[in-house]
Amino acid sequence: MGINVIKPGMLTTVQDLGRFGFQKYGMITSGAMDKLALRLGNLLLGNEEDTPALECTSIGPSLLFLEQQLICVTGADLSPAIDQQPIPMWKPVVVPAGALLTFGKPKKGWRAYLCFYGGLNVPKVLGSASTYLRGAIGGWQGRALQKGDQLSFCKAWPQESSSFKWRMASSCYRGLDNKIIRVIAGPQHALFDSDSQQRLTAGLFTISSNSDRMGYRLESAKLYLREKKELLSSATTFGTIQVPPDGQPIVLMADHPTTGGYPIIAQVATVDLPLMAQLPPGAKIQFALITMKEAQSLWRAQENELHKLKLSLALKYGE
Amino acid sequence: MNKPESVSYYPLGDAAVVAVFSEAISEQVNHRIRLVGAGLDKLENPAILEYVPAFTTITVYYNPLSIDFAGVVEQIQRIVTALPEEIHFSSANKVIPIWYDGPDLDEVMDYTGLSKEEVVRLHSDNEYIVYMIGFAPGFAYLGGMDSRLSTPRKPTPRLKIEPGSVGIAGAQTGIYPIETPGGWQIIGKTPVRLFDSTKEIPSFLAAGDRLRFDPISKAEYLRMKGADYGD
């Protein structure tokens, strides 16, 4: 029972909110690139926020449902449909047994999250169901989905059929049209020459096609240190913007190595990581510098919105 | 012994603090960082999520919804202040058996002008210290290699290095725990599994460990590798 993978899509992996507590052993955290979309998808189904779901990249999979299930699609709009009928995102949808869920043209964003009521039944490795592709660790057999895979659910959706007349308030998820990414100055920001510091916020940066879950390479005017300096390796994190000697910055994403030795010019604010994760190759962005305190209060505001949503959902599912 | 330098703190984004202990690598700095890690373990503060020790820094990840930057710095500084000025630390001693039969052994011999026996002796006679784990799961940055073994990285990295490969890159030596591309000069391989995600502590090595390499024969390598050697 569960789902049968008819087409795997471009890169479809099982992800939750990541594998934490083992970075001191070099273990990559992985987890959803757009954690907010995953959390919202799960909340809308009444799940725990970190329930394992599918991250579907650009070209989504085709999945045959072997049993009825309640799903919710969030994040990028990759034209989800059930038996060729488009379905709405950001709300629970019942998929009947025998139905085929497909994705079509990517309309907006790069990563859709397909969440299932109760979640996917995959074993946890070091406390997480997330897939770390390079290490072949976690998720579904440590790899992306392939044709013929059959994944089971943790729970069945018990109700005959249901219609959900509500959908999520849009204030919880920023529109993907925004191309301004807010960043905090990094530990080595002051070591860059003043032209480079200016270019960081004045210039346009293009997401290179050589970008993946590990990092986004950016094409831009080059950024240079005042004087060459070899740094000792130190820890990095999701959103760290490091600059190798070629002057082209790299934004570290969900599968980033735990440590690195390149100078860090800036760090993406946590609230803007979802937006970053949804940028397709070729997208042009601009950085805006904010303070650490501003980034934290934006984060707090986001969590307050989510808390309100949780309360109203508890009423809907709790009845 | 020099008095330890004071610790400086700076933010890494909105959810991490980097504590810098020194500008230069030393065993003393490594020990101090290790003790701060142990102190953080004892805190059991749910707002302090995890930490990553490195050569001269320790980075502490926190939840800014429950504690602020200054609060984390205060917690770390309290541990730092309580550290003894001179640290005597008992480290875990680990032994890694190696079959010195790597594809780049000849290149290392050519570059260094040493015989195979000399390479093996110099590499296995030393005691190494694990300064940090990073780059890949379970990958240890080791200090203490004899400088006569220094050999530059390969001009073009190999696309695939098998797990357990022991290599030299410049003045460093190390072991690849998982299959990955890499440019190090491979001089041997170990049957020891350095990273096992099914274990509670997944990495065989941890920052602060001391280790020795123990030369073994092909037969011993195959025996230790057990049923896995069929490739």
CA dist A297 and A247 (Å) reads 32
ipTM of the complex: 0.95
- Residues of chain A in contact with residue B61, where contact means CB-CB under 8 angstroms, are 23, 237
Q: Are A85 and A51 in contact (CB under 8 A)?
A: no
B57 neighbourhood in chain A, CB within 8 Å: 232, 234-235
Tens of pLDDT, residues A15-35: 999 999 999 999 999 999 999
Q: Which residues of B147-157 are buried (b: 16+ CB within 10 A; e: fewer)?
A: eebbbeebeee
* Residue A186 in contact with partner chain B when CB distance is under 8 A: yes
d(CA B134, CA A91): 40
State whether residue B139 sits within 8 Å of chain A by CB.
yes
Question: In B, which residues are within 8 Å of A136 by CB distance?
Answer: 178
pLDDT tens-digit series, residues B153-183: 888 888 889 999 999 988 889 999 988 888 8
Contact A21 B207 (CB under 8 A): no
Q: How confident is the model at residue B189, as a pLDDT? A: 96
Please give, rounded to a whole number of angstroms, the shortest distance from the CA of A138 to a CA of chain B.
9
Cα torsion at B151, B155, B158, B164 (round to 10°)? 10
pLDDT at B2: 56
Tell me the C-alpha distance between A296 and A271, whole Å: 9
pLDDT in tens, chain A (319 residues): 899 999 999 999 999 999 999 999 999 999 999 999 999 999 999 999 999 999 999 999 999 999 999 999 999 999 999 999 999 999 999 999 999 999 999 999 999 999 999 999 999 999 999 999 989 999 999 999 999 999 999 999 988 766 777 778 777 898 788 899 999 999 999 999 999 999 999 999 999 999 999 999 999 989 999 998 888 899 999 999 999 989 999 999 999 999 998 999 999 999 999 999 999 999 999 999 999 999 999 999 999 999 999 998 888 776 4
> For B142, what's the count of Cα atoms within 13 Å in the CB-facing half-sphere?
28
Residue B46 burial by Cβ neighbours in a 10 Å radius (0-12, 13-18, 19+) = exposed
Q: What is the DSSP string of A150-164?
A: EE-BSS---SS----
| A57 Cβ neighbours under 8 A, 6+ residues apart | A9, A10, A11, A12, A110, A111
Q: Measured between alpha carbons, how far is A194 from A224 in angstroms, rounded to an integer?
A: 9
pTM over 0.90: yes
Q: How far is A263 from chain B (nearest CA, A)?
A: 12
Q: Searching chain B, which residue's CA lies closest to the CA of residue A137?
A: B197
Q: What is the pLDDT of residue B225?
A: 86
Q: How distant is the Cα of A75 from the closest Cα of chain B, in angstroms?
A: 23
| Cβ-defined contact of A125 to B201 (cutoff 8 Å) | no
- Burial pattern A128-160, b for ≥16 Cβ within 10 A else e, equals bbbbbbbbebbbbebebbeeebebebeeebeee
Instruction: Note the pLDDT tens digit of each residue in A233-248.
Output: 999 999 999 999 899 9
- For chain A positions 212-271, those within 8 Å of chain B (CB to CB) are 232-237, 239-240, 257-260, 264, 267-270
3 state DSSP class of A244: coil
- The pair of three-digit structure tokens given for residue B113, joined into one six-digit string: 């002008």
pLDDT of A252-269, one tens digit each?
999 999 999 899 999 999
Q: Which residue has the tokens 């530059």?
A: B152
Edge-first strand listing for the sheet containing A100-103: A85-86, A80-82, A100-103, A62-65, A3-7, A150-151
- Nearest Cα of chain B lies from the Cα of A163 at a distance, in angstroms, of 36
Closest alpha carbon within chain B to A263:
B12
Long-range contacts of B86-91 (CB under 8 A, 24+ apart): B86/B1, B87/B28, B87/B31, B87/B32, B87/B35, B89/B31, B89/B34, B89/B35, B89/B208, B91/B129, B91/B208, B91/B209, B91/B210
- Cβ distance B166 to B173 under 8 Å? yes
Q: Do residues A245 and A261 touch, judged by C-beta distance below 8 A? A: no
Cα–Cα dist B12/B161, whole Å? 32
Whether A259 and B54 lie within 8 Å, measured CB to CB: yes
pLDDT at B228: 52
